[in-house]
Chain A
Amino acid sequence: MADPTTEQIEKVITDSLISFGANAEDINRDAELAALDIDSLDLAELSQIIEEHFGVELTSADVAEITTVGDAIDLVAERA
């Protein structure tokens, strides 16, 4: 698979956050995941989704570094 674009990564992450119950209008690069009510179980599932879509394995240490939506997008873009 060719490297995914930032837009593709952003879409997968945004769709996932919405499926976990976040409000679409609250999601932007600077939004903090905690403020979107994304918890550790959601993040574990997000890691699985990212692995399935982009082949990027995120460790729990990686996930712990993610604070904002933008952090998640940048981390996947860097590793993909």
Chain B
Amino acid sequence: MSQARPQGAAALVTGGSRGIGAAIAGALAADGWPVAVNYRNGAADAAATVASIEASGGRAVALHGDVADPAVPALLIEAAAEALGGPVLALVNNAGVRADGLALSLSDEDWRIVLDTNLGSTYRLTRVALRAMIRARFGRVINIASVVGPRANAGQANYAASKAAVIAFTKTAAVEVARRGVTINAVAPGLIATGMTEDIPEAFREKVPAGRAGTPEEVAAAVAFLASERAGYITGSTVYVDGGLSA
């Protein structure tokens, strides 16, 4: 039997100021989660996301912090719990960056920044958040992966490595805490229309079986479901939201 979401449980979405993250924050708030919207730059976007949630009757707060900094995750989880008046029992590791280039010409810095942000922050935030989740006997961690990783994408060896590793981390961490009512899953978006994908050529779009790019809200819907009580028996899974691209 799936556990009920404890009273006062809060959600934290990293990289939540715009794009997929903002849509996820909105979807969780619509499901009754008080939401902390983390951002690194783009305070105005974060404020707009919070305002939009509040206008719809939800509760949200914007929290600044670069999740690639190893010191930030613990502070962020604590700040979210304090601002929202309850422990973070839903964590969405969405913050991600790209620094594209062929493997033979990637710089160490391109490698480091992508791995630290996409993978390192996922691991560190999850590690901290699990403490409250295992005590609460309820928790939801949703890691935003990508179709890139399970599949190749020339020019994104660093990004692919980080996202494939996020899926691997998701699986193993999930089995470690499954007995405590804590689920950990990944959502792997395909081509989604956001600022991060504006430069993707039309030819790539034509490879998507659905014949179009997805919307941030379509990714957010999968995340909100995985965060819900109804998804209590789904753990260690990766849900592809990609219009059939990886099928």
Is chain A's interface secondary structure helix, strand, loop, or mixed overall? Answer: helix
Considering the complex, give the chain B residue whose CB is closest to the CB of A45: B134
Complexed CA–CA distance, A41 and B174 (Å): 12
Considering the complex, give the chain B residue whose CB is closest to the CB of A48: B131
Residues of B within 8 A of A48 (CB): 131, 135
Complexed CA–CA distance, A65 and B216 (Å): 49
- Per the 8 Å Cβ criterion, residues 10-46 of A in contact with B are 41, 44-45
Q: Range of interface residues on chain A?
A: under 10
6 residue pairs, one from A and one from B, having the closest CB atoms: A45-B134, A48-B131, A41-B176, A41-B177, A48-B135, A45-B135
Is chain B's interface secondary structure helix, strand, loop, or mixed overall? Answer: helix
Residues of A within 8 A of B134 (CB): 41, 44-45
Considering the complex, give the chain A residue whose CB is closest to the CB of B178: A41
Taking the complex as formed, is B212 at the interface, i.e. its CB lies under 8 A from any CB of chain A? no
Query: How many B residues, CB 8 Å from partner?
Result: 7
Considering the complex, give the chain A residue whose CB is closest to the CB of B177: A41
User: A41-B177, A44-B134, A48-B135 known; 8 other A-B pairs, CB under 8 Å?
Assistant: A41-B134, A41-B176, A41-B179, A41-B180, A45-B134, A45-B135, A45-B180, A48-B131
Complexed CA–CA distance, A48 and B180 (Å): 15
Shortest Cβ distance from residue B111 to the other chain A in the assembled complex, whole angstroms: 29
Residues of A within 8 A of B135 (CB): 45, 48
Considering the complex, give the chain A residue whose CB is closest to the CB of B137: A19
Shortest Cβ distance from residue B202 to the other chain A in the assembled complex, whole angstroms: 49
Shortest Cβ distance from residue A49 to the other chain B in the assembled complex, whole angstroms: 8
The 8 A CB mask of B180-193 against A (1 = contact, 0 = none) is 10000000000000
- Per the 8 Å Cβ criterion, residues 206-220 of B in contact with A are none
- Per the 8 Å Cβ criterion, residues 158-187 of B in contact with A are 176-177, 179-180
Complexed CA–CA distance, A48 and B177 (Å): 15
Considering the complex, give the chain B residue whose CB is closest to the CB of A52: B135
Residues of B within 8 A of A41 (CB): 134, 176-177, 179-180
Considering the complex, give the chain B residue whose CB is closest to the CB of A44: B134
Complexed CA–CA distance, A45 and B136 (Å): 11
